[in-house]
Structure 1
């Protein structure tokens, strides 16, 4: 029977808890997990659990080791940001201990009379323990759903959760550590523990809900800022459309005259002049066409307007943007990035009075990474530092939403903005 207890309580239950913890960590942080990650972490936790039993560590010390193990695994193996690894590890262990503490207290209330347990009672105890592990997994799933049900960005603002969650975890250490006695006189104490653990659960739910609402407010503020920027740029769109319309109407009006001139040049065998004239016609048609075909209609319209304005300001534009047909990238997020990146470049180039004015815009997907690069020329005499205004901050916020980042290269005669998105196709949050 001892062997069965070891196999069930130590191997099976602890293994399932370790798998659940790592699943929560990977899903919560948007880090893709492989099979060897689960095997390695489960083996690591078996070693830690075994040492805890062998050395007979205090409950507070064992909790600290488990948090440190999950934090280290996230930073060193999964290459997750330290601040995100820390809060996720604390949150995972706190949820697990609240659920396990509730079931442990319930078990002590039921079996706290000091009566020897029969086979039926032992099977019931095993069923309660397994239910506890399943409940931990369900709690993890609910937490993930509450955070990502509406695609809210997970940024460093998640550190707001650190202090209240850590406080709840410390309270749990006191509750669980003081509930080790089992007997008839401990029933009132166990009932008190049950109330405290339910209160801890309620506090954690309230903290997560408050943070969820806070992120929703941040998201609405970001969208409002974007709408304000779009409203301010409507006149630019109108001016660009008028410009293109006038060019197209003028070209259509003169098309017959162009054909007549070309026909006369060919009849006179003045082929060189005919080629030159065709070249001029090509320049006119290029100005009336879309400057960039990305594969995304919304971005095509946006860049058509933005890059058309750049051409009017005599800025040489090279656009090689390719948007994947099927991806988790939202059109609004792409508009925020491209609109701010191009606007910043055009504004900088508008003040450039000497040198070659150019704007290079490119984007492509490689595996689970989507990369955007915007480069523009700048005056070598202009050594002013780059300031993160609203535009760059909006781009940074969008990049963090997809677990990405931005980087800036500020050379003597160029400025380059790189935006990286992580868009694993197999992960969805519903």
Structure 2
């Protein structure tokens, strides 16, 4: 009775740790109340106690019911906890139901065959998982682990699962009496070698994934630079057109005045004024590059029924136009993307403000959000994008530029509003505006 009770308590703690670890690895949240979760985890832990007594049960139907409850029932209980049925939960389940057998066979070899071996196996697994979970939470590696999981190639998931079952078969097969000496000599080194090989494969795969991410980042930076230079060329074209039209207007006015047609000259000037007011851009930031940028972003925002409002001034010295474009373009792009996730059809407004005084530049954006946004303690967004490799690219670039100018970029959410605050120190020397 005491062993059964101890097994139930340890298995309950173990399954609770597995649920918490699943939440971290997959970024899930428990959807039920604490009481319901305690009941569900208890139902998951109970079959472990029944399995201890399955050898004394002679009825085949009873044994089949216990096995069915243990394997199939537990999977659906996990699905109920997370209110999801998908391959990720199935994968975690297949991975976690295999490990107890490995621990059990190891403890049987180390502590010899006795009635406490299964209890020791569950205890060992609980301590290992508890240590991993404590380390992740203490170091606040939740987001790092989620990002690491997201960049692992799919083939590696299959390899990890296959290796765990191969290890289980190896340990189970080696528990035969005639292999006892062989096991005591080679079991632990073999398991250590297997774990080392697995982590080496993971390290190489992560390194390759990071290289892929860096390539994507560099590609995006090149795209931004090309876009920036295209905007400059567009502005130069407008200047050339203006200069050409200006010369023609001056010639016409000079001819009218020389001919004494003063009234017609005044009418002509009024027509020019009306024409210029029609062609006047929606934004006047004091920086023609940013004016063009905001006009371009405003057109894109209109596609999702979003209005881009701007107030304030943007400097023309102390910071390069390229860096200004990185900050403002990424901030506005993120805001537009957030607004595009609204399916109500209502108008959304993005508020952007800028100012510079006493050698500092201040830029701020506010936009509505229509899904939960997580921000970790390192000022990083946990993205909802399917393409995880480009996660947080915009914000990370803004932070990079802010640090370049001894400044900072802070992000926050409140009442379904996302806020970005950028403060940076303008440089005294003239920045080449290429």
TM-score (norm 1): 0.51
The counterpart of 2:202, out of the listed 201, 208, 220, is 208
After TM superposition, give the deviation of residue 208 of structure 1 in Å: 2.9
Q: What is the correspondence of 1:117-132 to structure 2 with a 5 Å cutoff? A: 130-132=123-125
Matches within 5 A, 1:52-67: 52-56=51-55
Match of 1:26 in 2: 23
State the distance in 1 between where 2:215 and 2:69 align: 40
2:161 and 2:184 map into 1 onto residues whose CA distance is 23
* Distance verdict in 2 for CA 1:81–1:220, change over 3 Å: farther
Distance, in Å, in 1 between the alignment partners of 2:233 and 2:299 is 11
2:130 to 128, 137, 147: 137
2-side partners of 1:147 and 1:94: how far apart? 24
The equivalent residue for 2:306 is 319
Counterpart of 2:106 in structure 1 is 105
Post-superposition CA distance 1:107-129 (Å, at most 9, x none): 633x43x8x99xxxx8x998886
Match of 1:89 in 2: 93
Deviation at residue 79 of structure 1 after TM alignment:
4.3
1:324-403 map, 5 Å: 335=330, 338=333, 364-366=368-370, 368-369=372-373, 396-398=386-388, 401=391
Aligned-residue Cα RMSD (Å) equals: 5.7
Q: Identify if the C-alpha distance between structure 1 residues 400 and 152 changes in structure 2 by more than 3 Å, giving closer, same or farther.
A: same
CA contact (8 A) 1:31 1:78 kept: yes
Residue 155 of structure 2: aligned partner: 160
Asked whether the equivalents of residues 310 and 317 of structure 1 are also in contact (C-alpha less than 8 Å), the reply is no
2:75 touches 2:93 (CA, 8 Å); kept in 1? yes
Q: Distance in 1 between matches of 2:119 and 2:67?
A: 23
- In the TM superposition, residue 186 of structure 1 has moved relative to its aligned partner by 2.6
1:223 paired with 2:217, answer yes
Separation of aligned partners in 2, 1:288 and 1:21: 56
> C-alpha deviations, 1:18-69, integer Å up to 9, x for none?
0111111111010122535641442231233244334349xxx999976756
SS at match of 1:152: helix
**CA contact under 8 A between 2:216 and 2:390: conserved in structure 1?**
no
Q: Residues 156 and 126 (structure 1 numbering): CA distance in 2 closer, same or farther, change over 3 Å?
A: closer
| Whole-angstrom distance in 2 between the partners of 1:195 and 1:80 | 39
Q: Hey, what's the Cα distance between the residues in 1 that align with 2:100 and 2:121?
A: 15
Residues 209 and 156 (structure 1), Cα distance of their counterparts in 2 relative to 1, 3 Å cut: closer
Partner of 1:190: helix, strand, or coil? helix
In the alignment, what sits opposite 1:15?
A: 12
Separation in 1, partners of 2:334, 2:370 = 23
| 1:283-294 alignment, distance < 5 Å | 284=280, 286-289=282-285
CA distance in 2, matches of 1:70, 1:106: 24
SS in 1 for 2:217: helix
Classify the secondary structure of the residue corresponding to 2:368: strand
- Per-residue Cα deviation, 1:263-295 (whole angstroms, up to 9, x for no partner): xxxxxxxxxxxxxx99x97994733259xxxxx
Q: Distance in 2 between matches of 1:243 and 1:317?
A: 29
> Among residues 296, 301, 308, which one is paired with 2:295 in the alignment?
308
1:180-329 equivalence runs, <5 A: 186-239=180-233, 284=280, 286-289=282-285, 305-309=292-296, 319-320=306-307
CA 64–151 in structure 1, closer or farther in 2 if over 3 Å, else same: same
Greater RCO, CA 8 A, separation 6+? 1
Residue ranges of structure 2 left out of the alignment (5+ in a row): 58-64, 241-272, 310-325, 341-346, 351-366, 375-383, 393-412, 416-434
Q: After superposition, what is the alpha-carbon deviation per residue over 1:298-328, rounded to whole angstroms, capped at 9, x for unaligned?
A: xxx98x6544136799x89953479xxxxxx
Counterpart Cα distance in 2 of 1:135 and 1:107? 18
Number of residue pairs matched by the alignment: 302
Question: How many angstroms apart in 1 are the aligned matches of 2:118 and 2:108?
Answer: 7
Question: CA shift at 1:74, angstroms?
Answer: 5.2
**Contact 1:90–1:165 (CA under 8 A) maintained in structure 2:** no
1:36/1:282 Cα in 2 relative to 1: closer, same or farther (>3 Å)? farther
Q: Deviations over 1:70-92 (max 9, x none)?
A: 65455554245723223333444
In the TM superposition, residue 361 of structure 1 has moved relative to its aligned partner by: 8.1
Query: Contact 2:11–2:122 at 8 Å: present in 1 too?
Result: no
How far apart are the structure 1 equivalents of 2:122 and 2:94?
A: 22
Q: Give the secondary-structure state (helix, strand or coil) at the position aligned to 2:387.
A: helix
Distance 1:400 1:21, change over 3 A: farther
Query: Quick one: distance in 2 between partners of 1:14 and 1:243?
Result: 73
Gaps of 5+ in 1: 247-276, 291-300, 323-330, 346-358, 371-393, 403-422, 426-430
